[in-house]
């Protein structure tokens, strides 16, 4: 019919869907865990998928951890079979973009956290050193002469001076403007929220009068990274699972993947149905093909 998507799926149907897929792309926060707390059953599901021969890859917009730290986090939370090569974070993919797509010569000015800088350095991309001078202001601070890109990501040490410097570098039309992701905010416990990379990107877009190129979800680039690092990635045999319609489901739609929303995170069924029933056809890219309550709904699929 006219209104496709949002199919609640479980039992044998879910088992058949998994049968048909080679690659399972998993968002992390909101699907596998909330901060430091694993979603009940998630680790068993991920370990079972891997042991059943599925290619499992993780696509996360969280740029605050280098990939090695992700491996530790997975293992600490009970996801014992996860390897570095399975992890595609917005910081790692930003490094690949700068190294392999842009082939950057010169330095990158990072308005982001330490992990982002270290991921770039790991890829051989050089960053402007963070100035330590507490008296520095935008009136007197030095600016590096060879900055060829500004990269914005989540930054819990964001300062006015960093914003001002980044804005100055972006006056040069040959200086690229990249954002790890443009997530608006993230849920914390107790009803609090964490402003996301998107809020900092927005500030810099206003002060520079420019638009950032987005690396993370919903941009297709993360899928290109996966395709380039694994053999025979066929979009028709991929399933993208996430908790946020505007990032995860749109990412899946942009890459022509089947999509599944889990209800353990940001978006709920009524949000998905609103997009589905919208007159505006561009809204249909936010609609998941399938909905499950939790990734734990996969558990029976692995039982005999």
Q: Name the residues annotated as catalytic.
A: 27, 29
Contact 31, 62 (CB under 8 A): no
Q: Closest distance between ligand PLP and the C-beta of residue 191, in Å?
A: 15
Specify which residues 7 forms β-bridges with.
290
Burial of 158 (0-12, 13-18, 19+ CB in 10 A): middle
Q: How far apart are the first and last CA of the chain?
A: 35
Q: Quick one: which of 61, 86, 208, 262 contacts ligand PLP (CB under 6 A)?
A: 61
Query: Which of 60/201 has CB closer to ligand PLP?
Result: 60
Applying the rule CB under 6 A, the residues between 129 and 188 that interact with ligand PLP are 154, 183, 186
Query: Binding residue for ligand PLP (CB under 6 A) from 17, 24, 29, 107?
Result: 29
CA neighbor of 57 nearest in space, from 92, 18, 19, 84: 84
201 binds ligand PLP (CB under 6 A): no
d(CA 60, CA 40): 19
Using rule CB under 6 A, residue 117 touches ligand PLP: no
Q: Using CB under 6 A, pick the residue from 17, 24, 25, 30 that binds ligand PLP.
A: 30
**238: closest CA among 228, 227, 225?**
227
- Residues 271-290, interacting with ligand PLP (CB under 6 A): none
- The answer to whether residue 219 forms part of the interface with ligand PLP (CB under 6 A) is no
The residues, ordered by sequence, that sit 6+ positions from 133 with a Cβ below 8 Å of its Cβ are 141
Q: Contact between 28 and ligand PLP (CB under 6 A)? A: yes
Q: Which residues bind ligand PLP (CB under 6 A)?
A: 27-30, 60-62, 64, 154, 183, 186, 194, 196
């Amino acid at each position: 019919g006219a209104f496709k998507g949002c199919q609640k799926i479980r039992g044998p149907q879910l088992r058949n869907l998994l049968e048909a897929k080679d690659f399972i792309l998993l968002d992390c926060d909101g699907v596998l865990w909330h901060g430091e707390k694993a979603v009940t059953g998630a680790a068993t599901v991920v370990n079972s998928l891997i042991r059943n021969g599925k290619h499992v890859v993780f696509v996360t917009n969280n740029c605050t951890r280098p990939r090695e730290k992700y491996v530790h986090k997975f293992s600490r939370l009970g996801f014992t079979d996860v390897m570095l090569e399975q992890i595609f974070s917005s910081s790692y993919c930003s490094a690949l973009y700068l190294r392999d797509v842009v082939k950057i010569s010169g330095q990158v000015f990072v308005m982001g956290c330490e992990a982002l800088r270290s991921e770039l350095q790991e890829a051989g991309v050089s960053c402007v050193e963070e100035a330590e001078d507490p008296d520095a202001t935008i009136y007197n601070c030095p600016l590096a002469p060879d900055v060829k890109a500004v990269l914005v990501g989540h930054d819990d040490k964001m300062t006015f001076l960093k914003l001002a410097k980044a804005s100055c570098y972006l006056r040069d039309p040959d200086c690229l403007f990249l954002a790890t992701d443009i997530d608006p905010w993230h849920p914390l416990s107790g009803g609090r929220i964490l402003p996301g990379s998107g809020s900092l990107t927005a500030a810099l877009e206003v002060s520079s009068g420019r638009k950032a190129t987005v690396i993370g979800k919903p941009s297709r680039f993360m899928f290109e990274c996966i395709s380039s690092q694994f053999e025979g990635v066929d979009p028709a045999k991929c399933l993208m699972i996430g908790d946020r319609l505007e990032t995860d489901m749109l990412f899946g739609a942009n890459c022509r993947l089947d999509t599944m929303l889990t209800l353990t995170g940001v978006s709920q069924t009524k949000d998905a149905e609103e997009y589905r029933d919208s007159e505006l056809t561009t809204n249909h890219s936010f609609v998941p093909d399938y909905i499950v309550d939790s990734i734990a709904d996969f558990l029976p699929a692995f039982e005999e």
